[in-house]
Amino acid sequence: MIRRLCTIVVAGVLGVTAFGAVAPAGAAASPFPPLTALRVDRAATPPAVVDAAGRQTLLRGVNVSSLGDYWQANRRYPTVVPMTGADWDRIAAQGFDSVRLLVSWSRLEPRRDRFDRSYLARIRAAVGAAKARGIYTILDMHQDAWGKYVATPRGTTCPDGTEPAKGWDGAPRWATLTGGLSTCTPGSREASPAAQEAWRAFYANDRGIRDELVEAWGYLARAFRTEAAIGGYDLLNEPNHGTDDAFRSGLAVFYGDAIAAIRRAERPAGSVDHMILIEPTIYGQDPFPIRFPTPMSEDNIVFAPHNYGDSITSIPVEGLFDYFQSIATRADTPLWIGEYGWFSVSEENTAALARYAAKEDALLAAGSSWWQWRQACGDPHSIGYDGGRPDDQVHFQRNGCPGDVNGGVVAEWACASRAYPMRSPGRLTALSSDCGTGAMRLAGSTDAPGTLVVWYPGAQRPVASVDGTRTIRVRGGYLVSVRVRGDYTLELRRSGG
């Protein structure tokens, strides 16, 4: 494990370290300190994500879908919008220190046992672009409703009570085992017999397809085994429960085998022991009837559910947070929210985001990732089965349709970019950050002296409650750093406030 502090380039203008030092402008970025998920049984402190200096690290950011391989309903509308340097700069200007980068198995392994090196190069380029701006990348093996190849063929007449199903993203064609069952769905995108059978076959490892996804993770882990700017590996987005109880054992076996494959790939000297992020199944009263304690007993594990409270579901965000935190506590792991967000602008949604932010701070959660940075007009989430004209999209940025016209960051989502401690020596014991007033207060405790680093948004230079702070202007806001030891507190407020 690398044990040194490092310099990063923020916004390509001023060399600033997220760890409390300053380098000359234009200094080259050096390797990030790797991140580790510490458990209760490894230290007499709560579980947390920490850097190489032992500082608690909050990973806040957005999902980036530009490398996703989606089913295309209408050839006139691309399914993704490529990322540009300006995009990466804007992400950094929100104070985000992480992205959850979607990757598609169908592009990584389009033919069985044949990995696409050009796709890997595109993943590397995205990781490098994020790294150049001080941003960790979490690689997410993304899927929705199994994949592209469970779409209902055009011209199919579906039985009464069902309708044609869109394709989505995820598995390659050769790993889509539907048994010839109907692709028509009685409701949700997950509910067609074909999609359910594809999941059953995966959990049962029919034709070894579960083992193939394990090998794909080994391939990625070998490629990035020395890259500390990889924050972690999210093993499988929103796994479905399938048609029977096969998922109860099959998903746990997949998680355990994938972890083992990643650790084998990281065995050579000089490798980084990357964090593993594990998600619950998308349905079920309890996300963990799958013998979850088996993989959760491994080291360096993060519980990474999705919180769409007061958004996709009417369950309050606070209730889902408490539920997920109870599971993380039971498993002795940090809690990190891999997806959350709202898809229209309203006073109600802005207020819900503020409540989400307050709860995330109060729980001292390891961070979160907004869904998503920008959604293309041709994304299956945007467009109907019949390939009609999509509406404009509202995610973290607005996207005008047709033409994928970038409308910029949604001002109403500013609370997601509120002030927060990026690196905290020892452990945080309290945190609150008011989206409206800009007031932030934190408390922490550390046995060894270290540098606290805080992101503060906006043009107004913050005023600190303690002497000795150093405030550096960066794109979109400020980095505030101060040396601390023992029990410490820091309050920041807007100047003139």
Segments making up each domain of the chain, as ranges: 33-417
Residues counted in the chain: 497
Which class would CATH give 33-417? alpha beta
Q: Which of 358, 408, 346, 400 has the alpha carbon at shortest distance from 377?
A: 400
How far is residue 386 from each of residues 78, 150, 163, 400, 401, measured CA to CA in Å? 15, 15, 11, 20, 16
pLDDT tens string, the chain, 497 residues long: the values are: 322 222 222 222 223 444 333 332 333 334 579 999 998 765 567 899 999 999 999 999 999 999 999 999 999 999 999 999 999 999 999 999 999 999 999 999 999 999 999 999 999 999 999 999 999 999 999 999 999 999 999 999 999 999 999 999 999 999 999 999 999 999 888 899 999 999 999 999 999 999 999 999 999 999 999 999 999 999 999 998 777 667 767 888 899 999 999 999 999 999 999 999 999 877 544 444 444 444 566 789 999 999 999 999 999 999 999 999 988 888 889 999 999 999 999 999 999 999 999 999 999 999 999 999 999 999 999 998 877 789 999 999 999 999 999 999 999 999 999 999 999 999 999 999 999 999 999 999 999 999 999 999 999 999 999 999 999 999 999 999 999 999 999 999 998 75
Measured distance CA(74)–CA(254) in Å, rounded? 35
Q: What is the pLDDT of residues 81-134, one digit of tens each?
A: 999 999 999 999 999 999 999 999 999 999 999 999 999 999 999 999 999 999
Closest C-alpha to 375, from 346, 404, 353 = 404
Six token digits for residue 104: 């598609």
H or E segment to which residue 138 belongs: strand 136-141
Express each pLDDT in 152-206 by its tens digit. 999 999 999 999 999 999 999 999 999 999 999 998 888 999 999 999 999 999 9
Q: CB within 8 A of 40, min separation 6: which ones?
A: 46, 47, 332
Can you point out the beta strands (E) in 366-439? 367-370, 393-394, 397-400, 405-409, 420-424, 427-433
